Amino acid sequence: MKKSLKYQLHDFKTSLLVYLSIYLTVAIVIGAFFIWTGSKPESANLNGSNSMDFSSTIFTFIMGLAIFKEHFWMVAQNGISRKTFFKSCMYCMLIINFILAIATVVFTLFFTQMSGLDWSTMFGVLYSKFDQNIIITFIVHTIFIFSAYNLCFLSGYFVTILFYKASKIGKVIIAAGLPVLFFFILPLSYGFIPKFWNAVFNFLFHITGMESGNPLYGIITISVIAVVLGIGSYPLAKRVEI
């Protein structure tokens, strides 16, 4: 497994370093601009939808999409079992997402202190009621972001395995059906069955702790969903043919 994991980490190393470098550079430039100009508008509020955690969720999702096909061919040609390959994918996910989670929290704090802007991650937006000392907040914040990144990675990993195993018709359904489902059918359905979706949203607010302001519920919920996706991906990955 070490050989497979080393190959995967090496393959993603450049992408990760470039991504972090670009983000840090942009953050420094923006922060330096506000310090140099002395312009710190009272209404400036950069929320989680345009901070590092949002872009990192996309990065981890794409990583989940990309890690299977090319890497699977490599390990298959080198006689590495599917079980070992799956384990190395999970370790690769945990290592990279842990680095990203730490970087997200540290960069966010750095940018906030440097620019004076209210730069919040999804954690700060969803759990604004969470009020603990700085050490506990840092730890819980990091674990929450780490869990969210794992969920995004495993979502991409699960989708790409389904796509890889699907027939030609199945590939079309997955490629065209998922965007239509999430960006058209589900939003449109709210207009027809608002009571149902309101009940769903209330349930989600409750089980994720957003209602009570307790992020531990959110961490548990996200982690459970991620584990389910991982468990669902494993038997599919074992039956994939080259």
Residues forming a β-bridge with 118: 45
Confidence (pLDDT) at 46: 47
Q: How many beta carbons lie within 10 A of that of residue 104, not counting itself?
A: 29
Confidence (pLDDT) at 11: 85
Nearest to 8, CA basis, from 81, 86, 83, 77: 86
- Percent of the chain's residues with pLDDT above 70: 88
What is the Cα–Cα distance from 208 to 214, expressed in whole angstroms? 8
Residue 111 lies inside a defined structural domain of this protein: yes
Residue 174 lies inside a defined structural domain of this protein: no
3-state helix, strand, coil in the chain (%, to 5): 80, 0, 20
The full length of the chain comes to 242
Residue 194 lies inside a defined structural domain of this protein: no
Residue 179 lies inside a defined structural domain of this protein: no
Q: Which amino acid is at 225?
A: I
Is residue 73's pLDDT more than 80?
no
Nearest to 120, CA basis, from 54, 61, 58: 54
Which stretches does DSSP call E strand in 70-205? 118-119
- Tell me the CA end-to-end span of the chain in Å, nearest whole number: 19
At 45, give phi and psi (nearest 5°): -145, 105
Confidence (pLDDT) at 34: 66
- For the ranges 25-39, 69-83, 140-154, the lowest mean pLDDT is seen at 25-39
57, 126 Cβ separation under 8 angstroms: no
Is residue 131's pLDDT more than 90?
no
Q: Which residues, 6 or more positions from 105, have their beta carbon under 8 angstroms from its beta carbon? A: 121, 138, 141, 142, 145
Q: What is the pLDDT of residues 86-125, one digit of tens each?
A: 899 999 999 999 999 999 888 888 777 766 666 677 888 8
Supply the mean pLDDT for the chain: 83
Residue 153 lies inside a defined structural domain of this protein: yes
At 231, give phi and psi (nearest 5°): -65, -40
Residue 188 lies inside a defined structural domain of this protein: no
* DSSP element (H, E) containing 173: helix 168-180
Confidence (pLDDT) at 124: 80
Residue 117 lies inside a defined structural domain of this protein: yes
* DSSP element (H, E) containing 46: strand 45-46
38, 114 Cβ separation under 8 angstroms: no
- Structural domains of the chain, count: 1
Confidence (pLDDT) at 51: 60
Average pLDDT over residues 49-76: 79
221, 208 Cβ separation under 8 angstroms: yes
- Which of the pair, 102 or 2, is modelled with greater confidence? 102
- Which of the pair, 225 or 30, is modelled with greater confidence? 225
Q: What is the pLDDT of residues 172-226, one digit of tens each?
A: 888 888 888 888 888 888 888 989 999 999 999 889 888 888 999 999 999 999 9
Residue 184 lies inside a defined structural domain of this protein: no
Domain holding 155, by residue range, is: 2-165+208-238
- Note the pTM of the prediction, 2 decimals: 0.86
Q: Which amino acid is at 111?
A: F
